[in-house]
Amino acid sequence: MSNSHSQLIDRVVDFLGSARSLLFITGAGISADSGLPTYRGIGGLYDVDVTEEGYPIEEALSGRMMQVRPELTWKYLAQIGRAAFAARFNRGHEVIAQMEAYFDRVWTLTQNVDGFHRQAGSENVIDVHGDMHELCCTACEFRRTVSEFGDLPMPPRCPECEAILRPDVVLFGEMLPTAKVERLYRELAAGFDVVFTVGTTSVFPYIAEPVLRASHLGVPTVEINPGESDVSSVVDVKLAMGAADALDAIWRRYREAVE
């Protein structure tokens, strides 16, 4: 680890020294150490501009396409699912879960649909884009948790009403879940002592807003991201490192300081 990184980690540890509440905002970068590519999503799916069928990938993975051609949307959802189900959480997810058990109040707002935060032990998770492991019926209240799509027909059907099943995720053109957005704003209203943004370009307003709000209020902000993002210019500490290495180093040094 370079001296500059070491000094920045010391600053983060200083922030944590007087903190009792933390917010982590995570994107695809935190799952990179689990083998999931970071380019716009899971599985490298969006490396192509147009699908084999001639649709922009955003259209193939849209709520409208799920309604009119569910077999097409499911073809590409299955690619995302295979990538997520074949991997597991990493040290970065573990550290956040351990911090949740240590500090008075820790919440994680994640864009990821891989479910790794909960698998690692975090309980206070706002998975604003949903979770690929959760299937729901498009017509009735049936729900099912799965660990793979391999045994499912494409598109899968509800065993209770024969309607199409879909992952409980936000597709392109769909609204964010109201309950999750309300939860986010309740927690933001309660305030946090430190706000971390980890492995996300922060292009969505609801992902950048908590960082911008914290910066405006004088709350310490930390970005962990090897690249630049839409909030890099406003954070107090910018750690140009991989998420797992950075979070592990921060946690180790903090524990050494307090024990």
Q: Which residues are catalytic?
A: 129
Report the relative pairing of strands 21-26 and 105-110 from DSSP bridges.
parallel
Report the relative pairing of strands 194-198 and 221-224 from DSSP bridges.
parallel
Distance of CA 202 to the CA centre of its chain: 11
Report the relative pairing of strands 130-137 and 165-169 from DSSP bridges.
antiparallel
Asked whether 77 and 61 are in contact (CB, 8 A), the reply is yes
Report the relative pairing of strands 194-198 and 21-26 from DSSP bridges.
parallel
CA atoms within 13 A on the CB side of 1: 18
Residue of 244, 245, 224, 243 lying closest to 235 (CA atoms): 224
| Cα four-point dihedral sign 199, 231, 219, 189 | negative
Four-point Cα dihedral 4, 246, 197, 100, nearest 10: -130
